[in-house]
Amino acid sequence: NAGVTQTPKFQVLKTGQSMTLQCAQDMNHEYMSWYRQDPGMGLRLIHYSVGAGITDQGEVPNGYNVSRSTTEDFPLRLLSAAPSQTSVYFCASSYNFEGNQPQHFGDGTRLSIL
């Protein structure tokens, strides 16, 4: 199994540009989520989904959109990139949200906004 696949691994954008970070999992997991990781701070939840067609906001959703049209894919869209969105982004998935299932993380996307 490939697990959780994130693309791209690195990206540099200019302020105001838009882009989509891709996340795909092949484990038939219901729960998927996007986090950002900044120096000195823990992982912070941006958006999450508990199944196809269902998404909700996390702790820091402003400036980001998500959709979940299939179980496998959960793309994260930056609408108009800002320097404050420079961060490392992780996608994660788990079988369900029972608490007894591990989260599987992608390798991360390092994003720089100039």
Q: State in angstroms the smallest separation of the CB of 64 from other proteins.
A: 15
Residue 11: Cβ within 10 Å count:
17
Report if residue 75 touches other proteins, rule: CB under 8 A.
no
Structure token pair of residue 11: 């990206």
Q: Is 62 in the site for other proteins (CB under 8 A)?
A: no
d(CA 94, CA 10): 24
Applying CB under 8 A, the span of 10-18, 21-29, 74-82, 92-100 interacting with other proteins comes to: 92-100
- Angstrom distances, CA of residue 6 to CA of 22, 34, 88: 6, 11, 12
Of 41, 56, 38, the C-alpha closest to 111 is 38
Site membership for other proteins, residue 59 (CB under 8 A): yes
Q: How many residues bind other proteins (CB under 8 A)?
A: 28
**Is residue 86 part of the contact set for other proteins (CB under 8 A)?**
no
Binding positions for other proteins, rule: CB under 8 A: 31, 33, 35, 40-45, 48, 50, 56, 58-59, 88, 90, 92, 97-105, 107-108
